[in-house]
Amino acid sequence: MEVDGVQAVASICKKVDIIPSEFIRSENEQPAITTLHGVVLEVPVIDLSDSDEAKLVELVAESSKNWGIFQVVNHGIPDESISKLIEVGKEFFELPREEKEVIAKTPESGIEGYGTSLEKEIDGKKGWVDHLFHRVWPPSAINFKYWPKNPPSYREANEKYAEKLREVSDKLFKYLSLGIGLEGHEMKAAAGGDDLIYMMKINYYPPCPRPDLALGVAAHTDMSTLTILVPNEVQGLQVFRDDNWYDVKYIPNALIIHIGDQIEIMSNGKYKAVFHRTTVNKEKTRMSWPVFLEPPAEHEVGPISKLVNEENPSKYKTKKFKDYFYCKLNKLPQ
């Protein structure tokens, strides 16, 4: 059972303007020192409604090779569906702590449920963030026990969003396949096909009296194939590029697409997982809704055989996703 969420710590710290030492980052991580200020990074923005498919393939492939991150607009998910997702998630996090703890993570629940920090950070530091994880697709992978019952429209909003998100995800997998000379279906098939798991996470970053010293989520790459993220309007996502950390521009109703470790592996390094982190805000609560598209636990992921030959030897091990996951969470070599 988790004790104090960061939300509870935040409400105490607000009064005194200091934060506990476990939230204070070392100097090489502190956002005030390590961010290139005054520049908002314009990661590629791709209009998915473009009828020229060859052009979309080119844009998605180029962005995934050179950036590992891009935003998509006119993606087909109605704005109302996104605002509803945001609204119900916010309502859940604003419930009293006891109500949220009804679906708290337990040792048996694995990753699903409401809680704080997931990964063990080497130096024992903590992120200024609480979260909720639950699967949203496929139906056989869903356990409604970890979905909030309150607000009552939580389930419908998440189901509707997930349904629309599948269309976006299928498109992206197709473009990523075509972009490196594979047939349209191959990348998704290598990731688990229709058994691909959609893991919803909500990040809740309460206001922080010392946003110069703390981080929300520390620097990482996602272990997913792709991550499709909706942020609220509060700035916070940063990307590492040319040896600096930059803020990523917020575009209302856009989806932020991260290339995760599994796509990097499947493409044998042609596509790059993006190194990213989040900062927090002094006055405002930031929230975000990443959906991690994950291979099933027992599914083996490795470089796609067509991409491996004498000139391009395999750069990554082939292993079950659950084994990759275990090593990454526990900071063990892959």
Site membership for ligand OGA, residue 232 (CB under 6 A): no
User: Which of 201, 272, 284, 328 is labelled catalytic?
Assistant: 201
Give the residue among 74, 43, 34, 37 at the shortest CA–CA distance from 249.
43
Binding piece for Ni ion, criterion CB under 5 A, among 74-82, 164-172, 205-213, 217-225: 217-225
Site membership for Ni ion, residue 130 (CB under 5 A): no
**Residue 144, φ and ψ in degrees, nearest 5:** -65, -10
Burial class (CB within 10 angstroms; exposed 0-12, middle 13-18, buried 19+) of 31: buried
288 binds, among Ni ion, ligand OGA, none (CB under 5 to 8 A by kind): ligand OGA
Tokens matching residue 326: 């275990």
Q: Could you count the other beta carbons within 10 Å of the beta carbon of residue 332?
A: 9
Give the residue among 215, 307, 232 at the shortest CA–CA distance from 24.
215
User: Which of 65, 160, 164, 220 is labelled catalytic?
Assistant: 220
Q: Is residue 185 flagged as an active site residue?
A: no
Site membership for Ni ion, residue 222 (CB under 5 A): yes
Q: Is residue 79 flagged as an active site residue?
A: no
| Number of residues lying near ligand OGA (CB under 6 A) | 12
Task: Single out the residue of 276, 280, 295, 307 in contact with ligand OGA (rule: CB under 6 A).
Answer: 276
Separation of alpha carbons 174 and 193, rounded Å:
12
Minimum CB separation of residue 167 from Ni ion in Å reads: 23
Q: Is residue 201 flagged as an active site residue?
A: yes
Minimum CB separation of residue 47 from ligand OGA in Å reads: 22
The SS3 call for residue 241 is strand
Site membership for ligand OGA, residue 203 (CB under 6 A): yes
C-alpha pair distances (Å), 115 with each of 93, 94, 146, 282, 321: 11, 14, 11, 22, 23
For strand 226-231 and strand 69-73, is the pairing parallel, antiparallel, or unpaired?
Answer: unpaired
Residues of this chain that bind ligand OGA (CB under 6 A): 201, 203, 217, 222, 229, 231, 236-237, 276, 278, 288, 290
* Catalytic positions, written as ranges: 201, 220, 222, 276
